[in-house]
Every structure is written in C-alpha cells, then in structure tokens.
C-alpha cells in the first residue's frame, strides 16, 4: 500500500516550521528530502565502517569495499543493467554527461559529424556538447518542441543522417515536464549508427526505468534527486563501449600499472573512478533505492500522476496563470513550471516562502527553453512521494495571496 501519511513520517525535515507554517516542500526537481533510512545508513557507515575501498586487507577496508560494491549491484538491478560493471559512480548527472562528452565524444567525433539534441535540454546536456563541437568542428542539431511543450517527432526521421554520431536527449524535462519518446529515438539513432545518451535525472527517481528496454547506450542520473545523499550520481554505459573509452580523470585506483613514463588502465568500471570515491554516498544511494523499491516504482509514478493531475486542474482556474508544457498528467513528470501575469517568479517564490512553501524560481538551467517561450523565468513546483493534495491546496492559496500582494 502507498500510504502518503505513513511515508511522511519517515522524513524528519517535514516536521519543520518555516516562517511559522508547516513546511510544504515542492522543490523536488532540484533535490529531494531524505528518509531516516538513508540518513541512518550514511551515519552507520561513518560510525562503524569508515575506510578507503579497494586498497586494504584490514577489516574496515574490506567492509567498506563490500558495501560500495553491493551498492553498485543494487543500482544495476534498479535500472536493469546487464552487469554491475556497467555502473560508474560519479558526483552527479552533470559529471556523468561530461564524462561521455570528453571521453567517448572527444575520441570519436570529428569535423562535420552531427550531434543531435533537443531544444529542452538542461544546460548539463547542452553546454558540454557546445564546447566539444567547437573544439572538434562537429555540428549541433536540435529537435524543436511544439506549443504544448512536446518534441516535434512527426518528421523526426529526417533529422538523422549518416553524419549523426550522437543523440543526447533528456528523458523528462525539468522545466516543461515532458516525457520524451526515448525508445523511438534510440531505434532511429541506432539505424544510422549513432550512440544514444539519456539525461535521466528527472525520470529514474520517479518512474520505472529499464535501460535494456530503452535501448540507450548511456544514461545519467543523480542520487540526491531520488532520496539519496548529495555528491553521488551514476553513469550507466554499455560494457563494450566503456571498454574502449579512454579515462576521463586520472590518478589513483583507475590504473593497472604505472612506470615513470607510462601507465595502463584498470578494468571497467574502475577505469572511470579515479581517486577516493564517495563511499558513504553510494551506501546512502543504495538505501534510497531500497526505500523506493519497497514502495514500488509503479506506485511512485501513479501517485505523481494523480497529484500532478490534481495540481493542473487547481492551477488552471487561477486567472493569468500559464503552465509550461503538456497539460496531460500522463505525458509529464511531477514537475509544473508556470508564469503568473503581473508577477516576477522570484517575487512569487518569496511570497510563497513566507507561507512555508518551497518552490523554485528562475530559468531552471534551461535558458533556451525560456528564450524560446519569450519569458525570462518561471516558477516551478515539483512533487514527490511525500507530497499531498492538501499541500497543492496550500500552494494555490499561496498563489492567490501572492497575486493580491504583487499585482495591481
């Protein structure tokens, strides 16, 4: 059973008062809150098992290594990777995407090759490709989105050619909320020999993601958006591709042998995990995955669909409020960005904070989306497993108050 009130009891921070009001946390697309199970798992590691991994035969080191590698196995199972070695621990989605750009991309792309992105990409899946394209002379191409915030896929096939080498696209937009057709895009990309990179920062925490079913070559996500600690993220990559990629960072643990003039590399995944890793972060991420798996990702998704549908209906009756992206909750994640006529998003967020309601305001690291829509910024409410319809009602009341205060 998916019992929201019972779930809320697992999150200590939800007991906080903000400006005299119960905390209403609606900034989950930026980072999620952490249940006691995750907090306790990280504390237990530091209190009882703290040591460096892969480098010692003493008991603590062996325990830490086992916990770290068990976390890798759990992540692999969660997204249905074929092998634990296809899971590389990084700091966050941004580092995972940069690893692909500067390892695989730089080694394989040349002048005239095409990189196909969408117009709704997070800066983390745009700026690195911009830099690489300028360095090697590759060409950036973009799939546009329509007035509903959905990718224009009617002529998608025409975007691909024998020059298309990389397709890198967001699974769920963090500003429009749109769920993109990754399987269809992957099929078209593979037909022309291109690799597919998926930014899954907003999908893995919220719905069942199966990398084998998607067929993608690489996939990136962050632990802190899925109940885990900050500073731990994941890059999934197909084993055969990782094997031939050069290291991204170099130093300790990523080597097999070193002489004064040369070095050879460790096996995958350790080739890409230079230096001391965030072992406590991996342990915390493992605990977070255990928590989500116990709830069931299908249940997580259904809860968010119901909550998002309720929020869309409640917001639709506020005069002057415009939602960005699809208006069908089935077509979007639990992210609703909007504008309110006569108010600036930052002022709006400030008034809501006064009511104890945490939302995000700005361009959400998707400036091209906002430029395309002709707006400088938006306000974003984003939901997760512990949010309720009552909190949506508080958001609506807060918006009505802000409208009275901020508009003439």
Tell me: the pLDDT tens digits for 41-71?
Answer: 999 999 999 999 997 899 999 999 999 999 9
Whether the pLDDT of residue 408 is over 80: the answer is no
- Percentage of the chain with pLDDT > 90? 97
pLDDT of residue 70: 98
Residue pLDDT, tens place only, 228-258: 999 999 999 999 999 999 999 999 999 999 9
Cα distance between residue 124 and residue 366, in whole Å:
9
pLDDT for residue 155: 81
Is the distance from CB of 165 to CB of 195 less than 8 angstroms?
Answer: yes
Give the list of residues 6+ apart from residue 407 with CB closer than 8 angstroms, or none. 320, 341, 342, 343
Residues 6+ apart with CB under 8 A from 152: 143, 144, 145, 146
With 0.95 as the threshold, say if the pTM is over it: yes
- pLDDT at position 31 is 98
Backbone φ/ψ region at 285: left (φ over 0), alpha (ψ -120 to 50), beta? alpha
pLDDT of 154 reads: 84
Residues 138 and 111 sit within 8 Å (Cβ to Cβ) = yes
pLDDT, position 103 = 97
Residue 217 CB burial class (10 angstroms; 0-12, 13-18, ≥19): buried
- Among candidates 140, 146, 145, 148, which has minimal Cα distance to 166? 140
The values of phi and psi at residue 195, to 5°, are: -90, 155
Domain ranges of the chain: 4-26+296-406, 39-293
Across the chain, what does the average pLDDT equal?
97
Q: What is the pLDDT of residues 370-398, one digit of tens each?
A: 999 999 999 999 999 999 999 999 999 99
Structure confidence by residue, pLDDT tens digits, 295-349: 999 999 999 999 999 999 999 999 999 999 999 999 999 999 999 999 999 999 9
- 4-26+296-406 has CATH 3.90.1150.10 classification: yes
Residues marked as catalytic: 365
CATH fold for the domain made of 39-293 = 3.40.640
């Amino acid at each position: 059973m998916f019992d929201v009130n019972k779930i809320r009891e697992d999150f200590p921070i939800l007991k906080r008062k903000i400006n005299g009001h119960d905390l209403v946390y609606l900034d989950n697309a930026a980072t999620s809150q952490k249940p006691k199970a995750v907090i306790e798992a990280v504390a237990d590691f530091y209190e009882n098992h703290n040591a460096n991994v892969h480098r010692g035969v003493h008991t603590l080191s062996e325990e830490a290594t086992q916990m770290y590698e068990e976390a890798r196995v759990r992540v692999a199972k969660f997204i249905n990777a074929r092998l634990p070695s296809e899971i590389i621990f990084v700091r966050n989605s941004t580092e995972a995407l940069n690893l692909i750009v500067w390892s695989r991309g730089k080694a394989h792309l040349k002048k005239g090759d095409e990189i196909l992105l969408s117009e709704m990409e997070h800066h983390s899946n745009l700026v690195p490709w911009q830099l690489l394209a300028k360095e090697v002379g590759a060409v950036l191409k973009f799939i546009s989105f329509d007035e509903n915030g959905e990718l224009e896929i009617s002529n998608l096939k025409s975007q691909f050619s024998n020059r298309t080498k990389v397709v890198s696209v967001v699974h769920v937009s963090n500003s429009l909320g749109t769920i993109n057709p990754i399987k269809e895009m992957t099929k078209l990309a593979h037909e022309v020999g291109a690799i597919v990179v998926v930014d899954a920062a907003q999908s893995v925490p919220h719905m069942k993601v199966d990398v084998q079913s998607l067929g993608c070559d690489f996939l990136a996500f962050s632990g802190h958006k899925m109940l885990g600690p900050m500073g731990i993220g994941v890059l999934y990559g197909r084993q055969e591709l990782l094997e031939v990629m050069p290291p991204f960072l170099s130093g300790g643990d990523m080597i097999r042998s070193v002489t004064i003039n040369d070095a050879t590399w460790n096996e995958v995944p350790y080739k890409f995990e230079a230096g001391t890793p965030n072992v406590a972060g991996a342990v915390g991420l493992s605990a977070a995955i255990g928590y989500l798996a116990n709830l069931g990702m299908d249940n997580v998704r259904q809860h968010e669909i119901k909550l998002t549908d309720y929020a869309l209906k409640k917001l639709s009756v506020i005069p002057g409020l415009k939602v960005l992206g699809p208006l069908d909750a089935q077509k979007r994640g639990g992210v609703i960005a909007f504008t309110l006529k006569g108010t600036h998003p930052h002022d709006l967020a400030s008034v809501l904070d006064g009511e104890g309601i945490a939302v995000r305001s700005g361009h959400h690291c998707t400036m091209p989306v906002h430029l395309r829509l002709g707006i400088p910024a938006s306000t974003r409410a984003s939901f997760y497993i512990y949010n309720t319809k009552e909190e949506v009602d508080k958001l609506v009341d807060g918006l009505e108050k802000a409208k009275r205060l901020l508009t003439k």
